[in-house]
Chain A
């Protein structure tokens, strides 16, 4: 029984946190930032597999772009080194620019896809780039349907 939410605000104020799923890192290609695209079983009743995989694949592409070692990163590195890295006091690094893009993308995905299904993605950068945390919400009206550890209530008054 999918609970319908229309936007993020409604999600926060009328829902209670039921569970959290953590998408782990995929280290098969080394230490570059990449997340596993395996669809977690807890989300099976909530959303379509393809949507989830699309989100994770897009995030992986963003991170690959940020960590790409090529002409631009060499240029940035050498220029920064020549100025004894003082240039970073006024300039933003390429990684930081991509992180901003990622934050915007996650916000957009939350609004369009995840919040209407009672889910919320947390930006991995807030979890140390270790996991993508997906919070699963239940409608407060439906008691007894919350599964797993309901540790924190997401409805603390602002």
Chain B
């Protein structure tokens, strides 16, 4: 079987490990499961449409035209913050390249010394001192890095995220350092929008009932009932969530730390990141600098892929690119593809990820493939850094 290697340029997002979905050629980054996010969109857009259709004409005439105008502004803000939260990089930390991973391994082995055979090696922990408190940094076996303080590995997206708060299915993305303030503003403006719609629904029903009677009102504007139901249930959850996050921000804590109880309890250390001042904490979280993404999603890189001369699909396809998990194209096999479909897909597609188990990357056991251009080569780095500065 003869194979010809073709080199082509691909965007870096196509080669990123992890279980994210990318759209618009790498501009949009989300989690894999987006069903609940569509539900969120549907609820918000649907409820607002009903409000504009049924209540606004009446209220604009009988009360004030400012009411629908303000509702539109609120709606636009909610959508902008929601889309910004969902589509942006939450602060994903790229995995360590092979040299860095082996450098860290060597350091760990040097630190542990000789472990007698049969004994479990000590846990991989690095102690750092932050503001006179000892904080333990854990080693991430998937990403092969010592996680920076406040970072955590999201199992749903399979990425380490900096200042990891939580993975929110409602926005279809992780909430981390880069999109936390958008998430908070989304919940805040959504609370305001929900309260606004709920209040004016009641006002509308009351005003109309005075003229026409309660039942007639409901018959004329059936959307009101739906809106009131949605708003009533949304109110409790979203307002509660906003309150909870306001509390977290004032203490400069993340949901992850709160759930784990990292800074609570007498024998535990105090939060070393808090400024001990509510205003300062809020300002840092909400008005701090806008961190750039360190994942260069739209940068270009070289990729070599084999093209087989004859039509036979290989029985055991040795994948030279171990970390590909392209999740957008439906033809790319992943761990969910049925076994019999895999070989034909692997042959048909340009790049074909192997059916790998969810385990630390097999790269170390793999002999370094001469076909794959080294990601760490200075040329590639210089190219991308020049490309970025333009």
Contact = CB atoms under 8 A, between A and B. Distances in A.
Interface of A: 8, 12, 20-22, 25, 27-31, 66-69, 73-74, 76-78, 80-81, 84-86, 88, 93-96, 99-100, 103-104, 107, 120, 122-123, 125-131, 133, 135, 149, 151-154, 156, 158
A126 B384 contact: yes
Contacts of A74: 283, 287
Contact of A69 (B104, B283, B292, B388): B283
Given A25-B148, A77-B287, A123-B381, A103 B292 contact: no
Which label, helix, strand, loop or mixed, suits the secondary structure of the B interface?
mixed
A152 B149 contact: no
A85 B273 CA distance: 26
A31 B163 contact: yes
Interface string B260-282: 00000000000011000000000
Interface residues of B, number: 55
Interface stretch (B76-84, B199-207, B238-246, B340-348): B76-84
Contact of B368 (A27, A73, A76, A152): A152
Contact of A130 (B131, B148, B283): B148
B379 interface: yes
A152 B374 contact: yes
Interface in B6-37: none
B289 A152 contact: no
A15 to B, nearest CB: 10
B346 to A, nearest CB: 26
5 contacts: A25-B148, A31-B163, A69-B288, A127-B94, A133-B376
B212 interface: no
Nearest to A24: B146
Contacts of A88: 290
A84 B292 contact: no
B273 A30 contact: yes
Interface centre among B99, B104, B388 (most CB of A within 10 A): B99
B163 A153 contact: no
B257 interface: no
B150 interface: yes
Nearest to B103: A22
A87 B98 CA distance: 39
Contacts of A151: 98-99, 102, 368, 374
Contacts of B129: 27-28
B131 A156 contact: no
Nearest to B384: A126
A21 B102 CA distance: 11
A30 B130 CA distance: 5
A128 B135 CA distance: 21
B182 interface: yes
A69 B185 CA distance: 19
A30 B289 contact: no
Given A104-B389, A154-B378, 11 more contacts: A12-B378, A22-B104, A25-B148, A27-B148, A27-B149, A28-B130, A30-B149, A68-B289, A74-B287, A81-B286, A94-B289
Q: Which of B137, B182, B290, B296 has the most chain A CB within a 10 Å cutoff?
A: B290
B131 A158 contact: no
Contacts of A152: 98-99, 368, 374, 376-377
Given A103-B389, A129-B294, A130-B148, A73 B272 contact: no
A11 to B, nearest CB: 8
A81 to B, nearest CB: 7
A116 B125 CA distance: 38
A12 B99 contact: no
A31 B289 contact: no
A131 B163 CA distance: 18
Pairs of residues from A and B, 4 with the lowest C-beta to C-beta distance, nearest first: A84-B80, A77-B287, A152-B374, A128-B94
